[in-house]
Structure formats: structure tokens, C-alpha cells
């Protein structure tokens, strides 16, 4: 490619950024960002005259800003924008179907299925195009031929986009995709972030989060990846929020995270009330993410119904010099509003309370109290064996669900036991089977055997 052709190409990219108000909602805001006038006669594309070096320098600097603001690659964005605009120009009539957007999202981020009349989309577009396609088809992004100037109402564009994504990203293990609330909270905390570029980022983030759990197979793969990211910070023991003598937190390590007990002394120190949460930690680049699970969540999991997102709290977690910090991502939950804990200076006193037989212990969610034991014993071609007791096993047919053929040693597989109920648990697959009675086992073809037979 000769320099003249390259210069015209870069000018085209700068013109796209300018005309679409990609970075800033108004020309005045763009002028403040770049530090020079960007009027019609002095646009981004005109800067540098005939100098390819100057034009590339401007584009590369904008690329740096793009990455700093959103983590997106500007070259990919402008290329995808041009691709989608050309695609809509060519197929505008065929893109008017009312079922188009759900099918597109399901094809690229869900089942991978697309009707015959829309197969042209799968042949001509890739994942990287879809956020821009959705936004352009719903008028949150302008076509390249548009001359609308400044963004009229960016707040309305965000509201419309969140409503659209709530409608498209559903039928999940959760009642609502957590990423949606997280993105809403992000812009609530910092509304100055709102721009068309950020809207592309938000849409990408939500579609990516949906893709991770949209089907049983995708959920299984995601949980396998999360297992590789799991970390176990050294937090066992007793922590307090203000080092009082009446309340404390106790972390107890379990196989896949920590049981996190919140204790309160009541009735002149005679009663020890507690709530037992579960917390797990995952390394995400330089950050540690924590997921805190309310005790009520277990019954929702076992029901097979979509789980209320209100029972899960997502936190950025830090640990430094015996101080734990928590920063809520998305809506802050009333049942966990802690932002800081420190190692208790009264640890011996609190341990004596836990060891005392004189204290009355009251589990505030006793109906939800359970134990989870990792008891995977054997995997054969067609069955999975989970230890029941000494000398006996639950024999589970893999044919119950295709994802059971993917079970490996190291997965979270075992038994969830309540006072009167027992469930075989494939926790990473979000699959649970009631084995509390012979009748329940018979429903699923699960048997209690005394030897393992390798097919």
C-alpha cells in the first residue's frame, strides 16, 4: 500500500471517529480531549495536512486513550464499524425481522443455532461485530452516512440498550445476568464515562458474560476455567469490623473456598447467633474477585429454578497487612455491606466462645444449613460413582445430562446433605439430583451399589 492510499485510509478512520462522536458526545468535548479545534473545516481528518506521520500519530494516540478508557482496541472498533455499516447497507431489507436480534445473540453467544433465512449473518459476521450491529440497528449508534452531529440523548441510549440486553440475555441459571447490574452501577458511580465508545464496551461486556453461562455446555466450560483461576488467600481465623467484643467474623477453609460465619453475642453473652455464608476467590489479572453466597441460595440451586441474583454478592477483594477490603461490584447487598475487616486483637477471647459448651448457638438460617462433601470415587465410560459410606457408592448414569461426560477428577462433585435430605451434586455443572429415598433415586436411574464396575 503506497503512502497516499494509507493516508486516505487513516483519514477515513479519523473521519469515522469524528462524525460518529465515538469518544465524546459533543464536538466541544472532543476539542477538550484532543486539545485543538475540530470544526467542519478543521476536523480530525484534516489535521496534519498531507502528513501520514501526523495522522497516524493522532489515530495511535486515540487508540491509547480508547484502551485506557475501555480496554478495547480502536483499530478493531473502526474496522468492525465499517464492516457492520456495509453489512446493513447491503442487507437492510432482510434485517427487519422481529426475531432477528434474539437469533443473532443466540447464534453467536448461545446455542450456535440460526434459522435458514438468517444464515447469511453467520457467514458474514463475527463475534466482534455483534455489539455494534445491535447498537446500530436500535439507533444507539449512527450509520456512517448520518449527519446528526452531537449525541442528542446518551442517557436514553443507555436505558434503551440495557432494556434490550435484559430481554436478549435471559433464560439463565440466574434470574438476571449480574453483568447488567454491574455495568449500570459503574455508570451510576461515574456518569462522565457515558459515550458511544463506552456503550460498545458495555454491550460487549454483557454479551461476553451472557456467553459464559448461556447454555449448559458453556456454563460447564466457564466453571472449569474458573477453577483454574481460584485462589485461597490466607484468611482462616477471626476478623472484626471494629474490634468490638460483641460481633466477629470467622473464616473456615473448605475444599472450594471458605465458610464465612458472622457471629453476634446476644442475651448477656449467653447466646451466640450466627449466619453461615460461603465465599470463593478468583484471580482476575491483577485483581482478586470474591463471590459471596447467601445461605438461602442453596435451596434455590437445588430447585432447578433461576436463582435470585440478590443472593450473590460480587466484590473486589484486597488483603494487605492483616486488613481485608471489599468493594461491591454492582448493587450493594444489604446482607453484606462490609467494606473492611482486620485481624482481631481479641482472637483468643472469641475462640474461647466458639469452644465453650455453655454458649447457646443459634443458626439464623438453620433450615438452609447443609454440608458439602467432595466424594467422587470413580469415573467409567457410562457412569460416575460417588461414595455413600464405607463400602457403598451412588452409581449415576452419565446419560442424565451430556455434560456429565465431561466430569473429571478435581471437579466439585459430591454430596450435599441436609438434616433429612441428600443430593448428588455436580456443582460446576449446576446439576443436583435428590437421592434421599429409593423412589427419588429411581426417578433418575441412580443406584446404590457395593462395588465399582469399569465398563
DSSP string, 157-206: HHHHHHHHHHHHS-SSSBSS-HHHHHHHHHHHH-GGG-SHHHHHHHHHHH
Instruction: Provide, for the chain, the percentages of residues in helix, strand and coil under a 3-state DSSP scheme, each rounded to the nearest 5.
Output: 45, 25, 30
Cell of 126: 463475527
| C-alpha to C-alpha distance for 450 and 393, rounded to whole angstroms | 6
Tell which residue, 71, 332, 72, has the closest CA to residue 188.
332
Share of the chain above pLDDT 90, in %: 68
pLDDT at 241 over 80: yes
Query: Distance between CA 277 and CA 295 in Å, rounded?
Result: 6
**In whole angstroms, what is the distance from residue 208 CA to residue 202 CA?**
10
Residue 294: pLDDT over 80: yes
Specify burial of residue 337 (Cβ count, 10 A radius: 0-12, 13-18, 19+). exposed
Question: What average pLDDT score do residues 259-269 get?
Answer: 88
The three-state secondary structure class of 149 is coil
Q: Is residue 79 predicted with pLDDT exceeding 80?
A: yes
Residue 246 pLDDT exceeds 90: no
Half-sphere exposure of 134 (CA within 13 A, CB side): 32
| pTM of the predicted structure, to 2 decimals | 0.89
Is residue 26 predicted with pLDDT exceeding 70? yes
Q: Is the pLDDT of residue 213 over 70?
A: yes
> What local confidence, expressed as pLDDT, does residue 178 receive?
93
The three-class DSSP label of residue 256 is coil
Any idea how long the chain is?
A: 455
Contacts of 90 (CB under 8 A, 6+ apart): none
Residues 227-252, mean pLDDT to the nearest whole number: 92
What is the band of 45 on the pLDDT scale with cuts at 50, 70, 90?
low
**What is residue 12's predicted lDDT score, i.e. its pLDDT?**
87
| CB-count burial class (<10 Å; 0-12, 13-18, 19+) for 141 | buried
pLDDT of residue 362: 93
Structure confidence at residue 306 as a pLDDT band (50, 70, 90): confident
Q: Residue 41: its pLDDT value, please?
A: 64
What dihedral angle (degrees, nearest 10) is formed by the CA atoms of 15, 21, 27, 29? -130
Amino acid at each position: 500500500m503506497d503512502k497516499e492510499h494509507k493516508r486516505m485510509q487513516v483519514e477515513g478512520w479519523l473521519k469515522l471517529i469524528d462524525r460518529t462522536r465515538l469518544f465524546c458526545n459533543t464536538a466541544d468535548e472532543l476539542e477538550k480531549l484532543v486539545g485543538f479545534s475540530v470544526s467542519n473545516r478543521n476536523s480530525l481528518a484534516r489535521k496534519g495536512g498531507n502528513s501520514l506521520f501526523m495522522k497516524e500519530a493522532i489515530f495511535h494516540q486515540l487508540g491509547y486513550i480508547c484502551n485506557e478508557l475501555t480496554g478495547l482496541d480502536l483499530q478493531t472498533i473502526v474496522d468492525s464499524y465499517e464492516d457492520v455499516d456495509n453489512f446493513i447497507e447491503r442487507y437492510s431489507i432482510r434485517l427487519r425481522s422481529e426475531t432477528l436480534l434474539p437469533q443473532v445473540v443466540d447464534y453467536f453467544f448461545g446455542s450456535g443455532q440460526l434459522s435458514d433465512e438468517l444464515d447469511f449473518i453467520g457467514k458474514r459476521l463475527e463475534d466482534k461485530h455483534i455489539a455494534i450491529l445491535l447498537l446500530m440497528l436500535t439507533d444507539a449508534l449512527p450509520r456512517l452516512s448520518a449527519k446528526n452531529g452531537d449525541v442528542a440523548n446518551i442517557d436514553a441510549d443507555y436505558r434503551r440498550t440495557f432494556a434490550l440486553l435484559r430481554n436478549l440475555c435471559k433464560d439463565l441459571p440466574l434470574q438476571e445476568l449480574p453483568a447488567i447490574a454491574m455495568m449500570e452501577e459503574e455508570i451510576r458511580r461515574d456518569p462522565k464515562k457515558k459515550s458511544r465508545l463506552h456503550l460498545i464496551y458495555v454491550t460487549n461486556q454483557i454479551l461476553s458474560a451472557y456467553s459464559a453461562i448461556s447454555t449448559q455446555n458453556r456454563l460447564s466450560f466457564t466453571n472449569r476455567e474458573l477453577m483454574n483461576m481460584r485462589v485461597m488467600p490466607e484468611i482462616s481465623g477471626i476478623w472484626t469490623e471494629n474490634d468490638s467484643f460483641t460481633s466477629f467474623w470467622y473464616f473456615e477453609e473448605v475444599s472450594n473456598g471458605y465458610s464465612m460465619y458472622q457471629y453476634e453475642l446476644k442475651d448477656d453473652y449467653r447466646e451466640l447467633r450466627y449466619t453461615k455464608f460461603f465465599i470463593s476467590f478468583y484471580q482476575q489479572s491483577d485483581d482478586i474477585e470474591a463471590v459471596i453466597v447467601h445461605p438461602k441460595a442453596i435451596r434455590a440451586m437445588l430447585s432447578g429454578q433461576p436463582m435470585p441474583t440478590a443472593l450473590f454478592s460480587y466484590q473486589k477483594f484486597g488483603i494487605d497487612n492483616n486488613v481485608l477490603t471489599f468493594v461491591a461490584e454492582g448493587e450493594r447487598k444489604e446482607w453484606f455491606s462490609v467494606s473492611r475487616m482486620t485481624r482481631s486483637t481479641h482472637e483468643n477471647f472469641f475462640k474461647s466462645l466458639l469452644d465453650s459448651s455453655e454458649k447457646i448457638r443459634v443458626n439464623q438460617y438453620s433450615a438452609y444449613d447443609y454440608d458439602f462433601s467432595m466424594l467422587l470415587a470413580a469415573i467409567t465410560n457410562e457412569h460416575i460413582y460417588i461414595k455413600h459410606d464405607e463400602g457403598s457408592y451412588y452409581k449415576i448414569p452419565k446419560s442424565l445430562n451430556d455434560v456429565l461426560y465431561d466430569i473429571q477428577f478435581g471437579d466439585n462433585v459430591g454430596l450435599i446433605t441436609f438434616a433429612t435430605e441428600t443430593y448428588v451434586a455436580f456443582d460446576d455443572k449446576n446439576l443436583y439430583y435428590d437421592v434421599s429415598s429409593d423412589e427419588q433415586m429411581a426417578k433418575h436411574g441412580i443406584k446404590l451399589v457395593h462395588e465399582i464396575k469399569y465398563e
